[in-house]
Structure 1
């Protein structure tokens, strides 16, 4: 990683080195773990959710959501910034990916904010910061991977647990945007002429997708994996026959982008399985657990220590491999300390996701810099108050478990 190698290859090389230095092991063990890491039925949800997001993006989704968001919050000071936050929050209920949010609707929102007189760096920083809602509000690819890594939680429980934290993140960024906009005299969004009711009706098919997914899973109509396939069918029908902007000629490019993104995600999953095997063979989780247990920390102090550790880890590792590497080590500690598994999972996911807007490895910073043409330095400086707001949300989630567990508990999900 220090040499700049992709993290998936770094973990794969680590697996081969571990086999090489440990006598009696064959390199075939690495290959076996690569395939066994992908031999999981729930993993099929990942390409389907990615495809559903691509199909919805291929329609008029971003434009429809933006006009609806602008009508709701655009008249306030810094209205276009608020519309940015609300649009990406809506879109996160479809994509499940922070990078997809930043590269897709985020790029268009940045251009609109620039034309309205917002600082280039501020528009890019706000978009990158808001995009982290993508993995928090369901559906979420990272949550699917987490549930596969830690059997004490379910995908449905995690999906429900992420809703309130996702809303808190959006609200915290709206507060920052209001303060900055008032200080710099950023204007409201251009006046939307269409009535709110008409805009809501146009946006409703897109807004319904996360409710269909969660409602179908909760009612027992389909499993989380089957829900992803249902989402694809719904996105295809809505994009083609409701909005009418999804053309059949667009499908090959959409399928290609889906395959490319899926292969990237699943290759990380496969190599993470190899690295997890290395940790197990080396008894690293047991050693770390014993070391921390010897410190006799209270549950609260344990959570604080884990938060500090993950904030450091998140600076260098993307959330997906971070979950695959750290959860097998930390989840048993949280369980032994009596922490609620859903509460702990949300703290871990939000914490690692924050690493996407912290240099030097912050993936969202790089993607947003590319699509906006803004250099990293100015964007990072503008993102500082937003990062402070996000850390406050993380602290609230850490000290108030009910923020993560209330909604799942209300609907009967303990994990």
Structure 2
């Protein structure tokens, strides 16, 4: 069955079949060819794949992000980030990174970051004299922080695949990698702005203006604090935190910022439902795929094989990075996590690699695939949102990809960057 499974999934992916359908069809074909189990197993496992209490957090976090976006949160965060650096050389580039970092703490999605604050910043940067392809490339790379800085949909899905980590622990662990990515992008922006002489014409805002902008941004920034503090001190579970986030986002948009209209809620709900359905469909379809791998003993076989090679933990992580970088070019992070984590996580655990460090390496690595040509989904979304051609965008990517790769290597060789904060907070 395993051979049939892999042949089918490769063929279907090459033919461009959507990931969820490719996973389900290949599982059904493998079971049919194997002849040992009834086809009912596919439907049973698909139901099992989404019959999970922690998974309920996904639609609520998505809806909370939509409500905050509909409540003019993006404009508030842009003003807050720009006031500190907008007057510097390359200042709007720094503001782009800063606003994406702040919005990441609400959306949990790279695509949402690119289509929201990223697209707005590109327009502002172009008006200020920045090259549009450069601004678009910076926005696409900054959006990578979406699935890394909590709350993160990718980390919720990861925790469901590996029982050695918790959603709360992964949320906390994402802070330092997210900040490292932001710092790396700022270094690239400093270099390019100096080389191309991207100067700012904006005057530094007065202390009063900065105070007003900061006060206005505090309710939006409070959502991240509420989620992390609530989870850390056991006030609510990550799933309950997602519901609290929806209520908080609604109150902020409707009565704090007073920009969320009643007639906008149906459209926001519809977008949230469509995105949730796509995530859950992939989640459900991946379950029979993983079940076949398990009953065929593939994870156990690979674990024993790799352990027999006597690789050091570092060599294993390097090999995993190569695999994931290649894998991420052709597949989105969520199905990548659901297919590969059940195979790789037990091996990493057997080699003594901290589960949280391994989770960070996997999530960051697969997320980078979204900005890696030729298939990177973020690149296409950014091109559409910013009216930039893919060829123009690709010319600006090498420095950014180098910076992202440096961060990935730091996470690989320095475990404390991923593990120190969650361990210090008791996760």
Counterpart position of 2:129: 117
Secondary structure at the residue paired with 1:132?
Answer: helix
| Change in CA separation of 1:114 and 1:273 when aligned onto 2, cut-off 3 Å | same
Following superposition, the deviation at residue 248 of structure 1 comes to 0.8
Counterpart position of 1:47: 59
Counterpart position of 2:5: none
Q: Does structure 1 retain, via aligned residues, the 8 Å contact 2:180–2:407? A: yes
| Change in CA separation of 1:220 and 1:189 when aligned onto 2, cut-off 3 Å | farther
Asked if 1:366 corresponds to 2:386, the answer is no
Matches of 2:161 and 2:89 in 1, distance apart?
44
Deviation track 1:113-139 (CA, whole Å, cap 9, x = no partner) reads 111111111111100001010000000
Following superposition, the deviation at residue 360 of structure 1 comes to 2.2
Deviation track 1:240-263 (CA, whole Å, cap 9, x = no partner) reads 101000011111001000000000
- TM-score, normalising length from structure 2? 0.95
Matches of 2:118 and 2:185 in 1, distance apart?
15
Deviation track 1:347-374 (CA, whole Å, cap 9, x = no partner) reads 1110111101002221101111111111
Counterpart position of 2:324: 310
Following superposition, the deviation at residue 192 of structure 1 comes to 5.7
Secondary structure at the residue paired with 2:121?
Answer: helix
RMSD: 1.0
Q: Does structure 1 retain, via aligned residues, the 8 Å contact 2:87–2:204? A: no
Counterpart position of 1:232: 246
| Change in CA separation of 1:166 and 1:260 when aligned onto 2, cut-off 3 Å | same
Counterpart position of 1:338: 352
Matches of 1:397 and 1:15 in 2, distance apart?
34
What 5-or-longer segments of structure 2 have no aligned partner? 1-12
Q: Does structure 2 retain, via aligned residues, the 8 Å contact 1:62–1:105? A: yes
Following superposition, the deviation at residue 75 of structure 1 comes to 1.7
Q: Does structure 2 retain, via aligned residues, the 8 Å contact 1:80–1:189? A: no
Following superposition, the deviation at residue 189 of structure 1 comes to 6.3
Matches of 1:293 and 1:221 in 2, distance apart?
41
Kindly tell me the number of residue pairs found equivalent between the two proteins.
Answer: 413
Q: Does structure 2 retain, via aligned residues, the 8 Å contact 1:70–1:192? A: no
Asked if 1:205 corresponds to 2:205, the answer is no
Matches of 2:389 and 2:38 in 1, distance apart?
46
Matches of 1:53 and 1:96 in 2, distance apart?
8
Following superposition, the deviation at residue 294 of structure 1 comes to 2.1
Given candidates 265, 272, 282, the residue that maps to 1:258 is: 272
Given candidates 5, 11, 28, the residue that maps to 1:16 is: 28
Matches of 2:347 and 2:36 in 1, distance apart?
31
Q: Does structure 1 retain, via aligned residues, the 8 Å contact 2:28–2:42? A: yes
Q: Does structure 2 retain, via aligned residues, the 8 Å contact 1:78–1:189? A: no
What 5-or-longer segments of structure 1 have no aligned partner? none
Secondary structure at the residue paired with 1:380?
Answer: helix
Asked if 1:138 corresponds to 2:150, the answer is yes
Matches of 1:288 and 1:367 in 2, distance apart?
36
| Change in CA separation of 1:264 and 1:189 when aligned onto 2, cut-off 3 Å | farther
Asked if 1:163 corresponds to 2:175, the answer is yes
Q: Does structure 1 retain, via aligned residues, the 8 Å contact 2:307–2:351? A: no
Q: Does structure 2 retain, via aligned residues, the 8 Å contact 1:79–1:189? A: no
Matches of 1:291 and 1:219 in 2, distance apart?
41
Counterpart position of 2:96: 84
Secondary structure at the residue paired with 1:104?
Answer: helix
Counterpart position of 2:71: 59
Following superposition, the deviation at residue 281 of structure 1 comes to 2.7
Counterpart position of 2:4: none
Following superposition, the deviation at residue 377 of structure 1 comes to 1.5
Matches of 1:360 and 1:269 in 2, distance apart?
25
- TM-score, normalising length from structure 1? 0.98
Return structure 1 stretches of 4+ with deviation > 6 angstroms. Answer: none
Counterpart position of 2:3: none
